[in-house]
Structure 1
């Protein structure tokens, strides 16, 4: 980032606050020199309105904006004091109320600083705290202080009942003091938990840990593995690196959850009983844990696909990479990532153990149910495989053929305004068709939260997706599926993404769907790729008997514990 762009970004972020400060300063000056108190009313109202806008946006992001609005609120309090003094409305109650409110506002940054030092250390761990210490609600104090400012301004204009301002200001200060006491108490409790953490983990005697660091809203990465780690029958804990991840995991497991954000804090969790560490993604902070060489480091990943991240050279740093099938091993070699065979273990995808196998040919189903499960845009341009921008046209064509739709977009869809808009278009289309024709479309919360991915698989007869790990998982069902070629021309799609050999490829390269009808004819009709899917199923998901399929993973993982 250049200094110029950094300054521009800083100004853009500070502009509403700067405008509020300017309006408050104008109100103060007019209160001091204007002949009528109402000259100061307009800029004061502008400042209060801007403060409300800043607070609303800051609170929606989950952080208290006290430091950003202290100057504005102090200027407004000064305006109230000067206004009342110049125009004869300053009584003892209002004067003291303004002073108390100012003290409450000035104390906010210190209270916020202490509150930021409150974070959870562990949960579900006897000896270090069964429940986490939660950060006090500083936003509540900020809002009450804002009310005290508005009340002081109001009674300064009215010129009477200044004692009401004093009462509100005292209440605001009391809330700030109480919040500060809460924060201080919880910081001490956090320190105590940290002091006891190593001893508590040593007494617990975990055989392994699951290390997870990811952006908020990515809990599906660990959620898919926790039930199988539980089935190993060994004690373990989940080590997370952010407070957001801590809160997400805590909703998914009764196993101990430990938060250690810094590199230097990890020594606290390395206890003698540990034998292995599991990982479900390639987060940069995985490096912090891999340095403990006496542990066996096992990468599980959170899905198998032909995406670029699935053959990232960073997989070399793990002692073992558990992969679903031979396809994953060959993918590294095909992309120039040399890894010795002993670094891999084929364990299948235990998550598909309950996926139902196709019971009849697709051509025999009159009105098939189609699962549309597009991926998202990815973190980088080279991993943007999402078909959502052309998904409306595809779904519309399927509905026109009498299909009912199960629509389950990727959990990260909401991170892109464009993908979110297209997702909403599809939901609107399905809602309108359901009302008009009574087709049992499934979408929204029902498909995305109430149903698991496996539930969606089992509720469908066929799937449309793109380059995504759900495609390899769906392969287990032996049901037909289509892949949308977005990032690569259709005639080169199978070269770039070999799993597409089992798929009916929809050409959408360049953002425009071509030749859709013949593809849907094959997908929903003659299904010439049925035998190809059966062959590739073993290649991608392991040549493992269906009976006891997940046990293969459990046995392999148990060997390292």
Structure 2
């Protein structure tokens, strides 16, 4: 077995090296064709030090950031070859490729960046924190009750944009000596104002179930992924009915730590393909696209793990089931929505059809969802979150002007 693992590791490293080489070649051509960015144009930068595996974290911000760029031009500072290549291929926002600290300093010398936004907690964020005279703002890549949402790393940023009252309560319970009133802004979920994507199937009378599990996690406290414990049983049961359509949206990191988890993910994908081959009208979907929105709107029921997908679905105000982690060490914050949600235990995954019918027939479900939507996101009427997002940025721009004037005085 050690020889097999070593061989698999070697193959993985070779593939990664070849992908990096291809990305480097394409990146150089793309940057040469584009030419230099205009100087002194960008007031807001999004710092992204990751590669393609975490592109989902920034892609969900594309639409809100493009809207924001109408008032304050936005540039993405990318530190990774493959990440920069992916960003340029997406062509959603201007990209400054800055692989070294010296390159980062060159970008800052050429641009009047006043706010730097961060979508994750990459360790290389600290290389950007060294530069003062600008606000460093954590905007995260989703609202959830994961332990990630209460990390003391929030204190490393000047400010944080959070979703709403649930996030404030969560942080107030966990962080000592953190001025929530001054250092956080509640903005809701701006992404919900920009649902995107084209429906990849023709609607009919089939009940649509979105199954969107997270990855396996890299430590017991974060073992929220359900592909190996729930996924195969629930998908198999839904495929057998002939009256359900499955949208399967696995986390892009599925299997990066545990090969067995990745293998289960592959079996589910194969089962969907086989079901479509046997019945083309079923139109089951294996969704790996960058766009998020059509899935939430199309699904009659969503089955999700403890992750940001819970709250993406919650913001849509539609019925959902949460898979209960099997690992007893997985941290579950049951002080919020998870105290009142509909759980799906691993032992009940094979009975997903009956569970789904019960949840969808619950007359009290709408009222409960409305309560939790308000608690987590505040006003979710169209455009409300976008306005709060822009107002928060505008306030920080005003504070930047105040401090700048103070320095000149």
Residue matched to 1:187: none
Listed as ranges, the gaps of 5+ residues in structure 2 are 197-203, 398-409
Deviation at 1:355, TM superposition (A): 5.1
Deviation at 1:533, TM superposition (A): 0.7
Residue matched to 1:262: 100
Residue by residue over 1:262-321, the C-alpha shift from the partner in whole angstroms, topping out at 9 and shown as x without a partner, is 334432222362211111111111111122221011111111111111111101111111
SS of 2:132's equivalent?
A: coil
236 and 514 in structure 1: CA distance in 2 versus 1, 3 angstrom threshold: closer
Deviation at 1:497, TM superposition (A): 6.5
313 and 501 in structure 1: CA distance in 2 versus 1, 3 angstrom threshold: same
Deviation at 1:243, TM superposition (A): 0.9
In structure 1, C-alpha distance between the alignment counterparts of 2:45 and 2:292, rounded to whole Å: 26
Once the two structures are overlaid, the 10-residue window that deviates more, 343-352 or 262-271, is 262-271
Q: Is the 8 A contact 1:388 1:422 kept in 2?
A: yes
Residue matched to 1:410: 251
SS of 1:353's equivalent?
A: helix
Task: Give the structure-2-normalised TM-score.
Answer: 0.80
Residue matched to 2:234: 394
Q: 1:545 aligns with which of 381, 385, 404?
A: 381
Q: 2:82 aligns with which of 237, 244, 260?
A: 244
Deviation at 1:439, TM superposition (A): 5.2
Q: Of the two, which has the highest radius of gyration?
A: 1
Determine if the alignment matches structure 1 residue 560 to structure 2 residue 400: no
Residue matched to 2:264: 422
Residue by residue over 1:451-508, the C-alpha shift from the partner in whole angstroms, topping out at 9 and shown as x without a partner, is 7221111221110011011110111222110000015669x99754732245310123
Deviation at 1:430, TM superposition (A): 3.0
- Which structure has more relative contact order (CA 8 Å, sep 6+)? It is 2
Determine if the alignment matches structure 1 residue 477 to structure 2 residue 313: no
Q: Is the 8 A contact 1:494 1:501 kept in 2?
A: no
466 and 393 in structure 1: CA distance in 2 versus 1, 3 angstrom threshold: same
Q: Give the length in aligned residue pairs.
A: 378
Residue matched to 1:163: none
Q: Is the 8 A contact 1:278 1:299 kept in 2?
A: yes
Residue matched to 2:401: none
SS of 2:263's equivalent?
A: helix
Residues 211-222 of structure 1 mapped to structure 2, 5 A cutoff: 211-222=47-58
Residues 18-417 of structure 1 mapped to structure 2, 5 A cutoff: 60-63=15-18, 130-131=33-34, 203-232=39-68, 233=70, 234-253=72-91, 255-271=93-109, 273-336=112-175, 338-341=177-180, 342-354=182-194, 367-389=206-228, 390-401=230-241, 402-415=243-256, 416-417=258-259
Listed as ranges, the gaps of 5+ residues in structure 1 are 1-7, 16-53, 65-111, 133-196, 357-364
355 and 277 in structure 1: CA distance in 2 versus 1, 3 angstrom threshold: closer
Q: Is the 8 A contact 1:378 1:385 kept in 2?
A: yes
Residue matched to 2:338: 500
In structure 2, C-alpha distance between the alignment counterparts of 1:318 and 1:122, rounded to whole Å: 35
338 and 121 in structure 1: CA distance in 2 versus 1, 3 angstrom threshold: farther
530 and 256 in structure 1: CA distance in 2 versus 1, 3 angstrom threshold: closer
Q: 2:273 aligns with which of 426, 431, 438?
A: 431
In structure 2, C-alpha distance between the alignment counterparts of 1:485 and 1:443, rounded to whole Å: 24
SS of 1:297's equivalent?
A: strand
Task: Point out the structure with the larger helix share.
Answer: 1
Task: Give the structure-1-normalised TM-score.
Answer: 0.60
Once the two structures are overlaid, the 10-residue window that deviates more, 285-294 or 331-340, is 331-340
In structure 1, C-alpha distance between the alignment counterparts of 2:134 and 2:335, rounded to whole Å: 34
Once the two structures are overlaid, the 10-residue window that deviates more, 387-396 or 526-535, is 526-535
Deviation at 1:424, TM superposition (A): 2.5
Determine if the alignment matches structure 1 residue 468 to structure 2 residue 304: no
Residue by residue over 1:116-169, the C-alpha shift from the partner in whole angstroms, topping out at 9 and shown as x without a partner, is x99968966xxxx5548xxxxxxxxxxxxxxxxxxxxxxxxxxxxxxxxxxxxx
